[in-house]
A and B are shown apart, each in its own frame.
Chain A
Amino acid sequence: MAKTIMVVDDSASLRNVVCIALKSAGYDVIEACDGRDALAKLTGQKVHLIVSDVNMPNMDGITLVREVKKLPNYKFTPIMMLTTESQPEKKQQGKEAGAKAWLVKPFQPPVLLDAVSKLVLP
Chain B
Amino acid sequence: MTVNLTSAPDTPLTFHGEMTIYTANEQFQHLQQHLSTHPSLVLDLSGVTELDSAGLQLVLMAHTEATRRNIPFRLHNPSLIVQEVFHLLRLERALMPTTTAPKSGS
A interface, size bucket: under 10
5 A–B pairs (Cβ distance < 8 Å), ordered by A: A1-B49, A1-B50, A73-B22, A76-B21, A76-B22
The number of residue pairs between A and B whose CB atoms lie closer than 8 Å in the complex comes to: 5
Which of chain A's residues 1-46 have a Cβ closer than 8 Å to chain B? 1
Q: Which residues of B contact A1 (CB under 8 A)?
A: 49-50
What residue of chain B has the Cβ atom nearest to residue A74's Cβ? Answer: B22
List B residues at the A interface (Cβ < 8 Å).
Answer: 21-22, 49-50
Assembly CA distance A86 to B51 (angstroms): 38
A103 to B5, CA, bound (A): 46
CA A1 to CA B51, docked complex, whole Å: 12
B63 to chain A, nearest CB (A): 24
Which residues of B lie under 8 Å from residue A73 when comparing CB positions?
A: 22
Contact partners of A76 in chain B: CB under 8 A: 21-22
Q: Complex: how many Å from CA A68 to CA B50?
A: 22
Minimum CB–CB distance for B88 against chain A, Å:
11
A residues near B21, Cβ cutoff 8 Å: 76
Instruction: Give the chain A neighbours of B22 by CB distance below 8 A.
Output: 73, 76
**Complex CA distance for A76 and B22, rounded to whole angstroms:** 8
- B49 proximity list for chain A (CB < 8 A): 1
**Residue in chain B with minimal CB distance to A1:** B49
